[in-house]
Amino acid sequence: MRLEGKRAIVTGGGSGFGEGIARKFAAEGARVMVADVNSTGAARVGEEIGGVAVAADVADGSSVETMARAAVSAFGGLDILVNNAGVTHLPAPLEEISEADFDRVIAVNCKSVYLTARYLVPILKSARGSILNVASTAGLSPRPRLSWYNASKGWMITATKSMAVELAPAGVEVKAIWPAAGETPLLKSSM
């Protein structure tokens, strides 16, 4: 069990790739907090893996701060943060994407990484922990009609590189993965 004794948060863990990551981490021995804006999904996965569930909107600072406090309360600290929560907009010409859809993509896919860093990096520094950011192949090879989603995932890759350089002296490892549809998310890595 490669993650025995590790404490992890998986954002967007109530479904999809996040659910798969949460299940794999639990199977490898980690204590997992499943964080999701969908509290029902988070509770279901948390219960099924013997983890902790928390309703969290990763695009909202007070919600992320509450999630961080819940992790410290439940686990006494944190070793791994998986920034998995993400959204897209419907495929359309870039000039036709609504401002509301653009704002939502940027808030969930980009601002969330800033917020989790703000509230969780101090905890991860004390544990010499790890951050895993879920990017996408769209950040490397953009697809037509998904311009703003592609850009958000390219941002994730650049943010990961910058975070890795800055946090390495503190002993915090930062990596990105970029799963493609249908792949197991832990097969691709940027570093």
Q: What confidence score (pLDDT) does residue 85 get? A: 98
| 78-99 core/surface letters (b: 16 or more CB in 10 A; e: else) | bbbbbbbbbbbbeeeeeeebee
User: Which string of DSSP letters, residue by residue, matches 81-98?
Assistant: EEE-------S--GGGS-
Confidence of residue 179 (pLDDT cuts 50, 70, 90): confident
pTM attached to this predicted model: 0.93
Confidence of residue 189 (pLDDT cuts 50, 70, 90): very low
Instruction: Give the pLDDT confidence of 45-65 residue by residue, as tens digits.
Output: 999 999 999 999 999 999 999
Q: What would the mean pLDDT of 114-127 be, rounded to a whole number?
A: 98
Give percent above pLDDT 90 in the chain: 92
Q: What confidence score (pLDDT) does residue 182 get? A: 54
pLDDT surpassing 90 at residue 174: yes
pLDDT surpassing 60 at residue 144: yes
Confidence of residue 163 (pLDDT cuts 50, 70, 90): very high
**Closest-CA residue to 59 (of 75, 40, 81, 35):** 35
Catalytic residue among 25, 148, 149, 178: 149
Q: What would the mean pLDDT of 80-102 be, rounded to a whole number?
A: 98
pLDDT surpassing 50 at residue 94: yes
All residues at 6 or more sequence positions from 126 whose CB lies less than 8 Å from its CB, including other chains: 77
Does the annotation count 119 as an active-site position? no
